[in-house]
Amino acid sequence: MKVEVGLRVHRLALLTAVATLLLLFIGGLVTSKGAGLAVPDWPTTFGHNMFLYPWSEMIGDIFYEHSHRLVASGVGLLTILLAFSLWFYERRRWLRWLGAAALTLVIVQGIIGGLRVVLLEETLAILHACLAQAFFALTASLALFTSQEWAEEPRKIELADTGRPFDRLRAVRELEPLQRLCVLTTAMIYLQGVLGAVVRFTGAGIHLHLLFAALVALHVTLLAARILRFHSNQAKLFRPAVLLGGLLILQLVLGLGSYLVKFTSIGTLLPALPVVILRTTHVVTGALMLVTGLLLTLRSYRLLAHPHPLLGRQLLSEQIPA
């Protein structure tokens, strides 16, 4: 792929990821306000073509739900453009198929979202929320894979010197455990998001959700501590680790607030707007934690000296052909 074309594809992938994050935020607003069924039909809007629905009638909850549909359509269009751009211009076969997977997922996501409105099934709402997080992670991965960082030959990790003779040998032995910890932490963050969706739509499973919050906090702390100790000189690992730690602290505060407004009388004492913003930010922060964990995972397998075969040497070490 030519450099100019590659840059355009990367920008398109980045735009798709940002638009997906915006869609997650709007979807969180819709759910937090209880506006998910404000428009009772699909794919039309009160019998109108969705794209021709009068702006003058977009009031109250209808505004949030219909805006969600319009932004979702925009994300779908961006995904189509990205998938076709990758298919025709990208030489890495696995990346072309990853773009096709993103296109398939966004179509499935749109159908599930529509069926949720028509069938009024909470199970579909939970599945819709879980797939939204997975799709955001996929678009973020595509943005990383199409970046100049992934086009260049990876530089091997240089272990930080702590001044103690056995630390370097120990650090070498820590490489693969670090990779496994990255995978485990990212998987747990996603599972926590699934449990959060169950709580959000049904109110059930709160105790399991709280337990997993503690486990996620523990694993994120261990991961950040390990990177800070052994790889503090690697900005591509250090910065996401610090960001993940910061997001964790924010998420714990938001989670506590969301619990109080949903399961105690505090929620009835507060104005509606702060409660909606609190719960929506909780969802978005969880998505950002997922993507940050995934970024750490992908970079750890690419940068460390002996990539684990789980993710494939070709994906993690090949360069973009000239």
Average pLDDT over residues 149-176: 58
User: Do 20 and 128 fall within a single domain?
Assistant: yes
pLDDT for 271-280, tens place per residue?
988 999 999 9
| Dihedral over Cα of 117, 19, 58, 33: its sign | positive
Domain closes at, from 94, 126, 151: 151
Neighbours of 64 (CB within 10 A): 22
Domain closes at, from 101, 135, 151: 151
Among 10, 11, 12, which Cα is nearest to 146's?
A: 10
- Which pLDDT does position 247 carry in this prediction? 98
Q: Is 80 exceeded by the pLDDT of residue 178?
A: yes
Q: Residue 5's pLDDT band (boundaries 50, 70, 90)?
A: confident
* The two structure tokens encoding residue 291: 């993507």
- Residue span of the structural domain in which 274 resides: 156-322
User: Do 200 and 83 fall within a single domain?
Assistant: no
pTM: 0.89
Average pLDDT over residues 248-261: 96
Percentage of the chain lying above the pLDDT 70 cut: 86
pLDDT for 28-71, tens place per residue?
999 999 888 899 999 999 999 999 999 889 998 999 999 999 99
pLDDT for 95-148, tens place per residue?
999 999 999 999 999 999 999 999 989 999 999 999 999 999 999 999 999 998
User: Do 107 and 164 fall within a single domain?
Assistant: no
CB-count burial class (<10 Å; 0-12, 13-18, 19+) for 180: middle
Q: Is 60 exceeded by the pLDDT of residue 226?
A: yes
| Dihedral over Cα of 34, 202, 123, 119: its sign | negative
- Which pLDDT does position 73 carry in this prediction? 96
- Which pLDDT does position 3 carry in this prediction? 67
User: Do 98 and 182 fall within a single domain?
Assistant: no
User: Do 95 and 135 fall within a single domain?
Assistant: yes
Q: Is 60 exceeded by the pLDDT of residue 322?
A: no
For the chain, the three-class secondary structure string (H helix, E strand, C coil) is CCHHHHHHHHHHHHHHHHHHHHHHHHHHHHHHHCCCCCCCCCCCECCECHHHCCHHHCCCHHHHHHHHHHHHHHHHHHHHHHHHHHHHHCCCHHHHHHHHHHHHHHHHHHHHHHHHHHHCCHHHHHHHHHHHHHHHHHHHHHHHHCCHHHHCCCCCCCCCCCCCCCHHHHHHHCHHHHHHHHHHHHHHHHHHHHHHHHHHHHCCCHHHHHHHHHHHHHHHHHHHHHHHHHCCCCHHHHHHHHHHHHHHHHHHHHHHHHHHHHHCCHHHHCCHHHHHHHHHHHHHHHHHHHHHHHHHHHHHHHHCCCCCCCCCHHHHHCCCCC
Q: Is 50 exceeded by the pLDDT of residue 313?
A: no
Among 255, 249, 262, which Cα is nearest to 283's?
A: 255
Number of domains within the chain: 2
User: Do 229 and 117 fall within a single domain?
Assistant: no
Average pLDDT over residues 76-98: 95
User: Do 132 and 233 fall within a single domain?
Assistant: no
* H or E stretch covering 313: helix 313-317
Domain closes at, from 117, 151, 185: 151
- Which pLDDT does position 151 carry in this prediction? 79
pLDDT for 230-247, tens place per residue?
888 889 999 999 999 999
- More reliable by pLDDT, 133 or 155: 133
User: Do 210 and 108 fall within a single domain?
Assistant: no
User: Do 147 and 189 fall within a single domain?
Assistant: no
User: Do 270 and 160 fall within a single domain?
Assistant: yes
User: Do 161 and 93 fall within a single domain?
Assistant: no
Average pLDDT over residues 72-94: 95
- More reliable by pLDDT, 250 or 6: 250
- Which pLDDT does position 70 carry in this prediction? 95
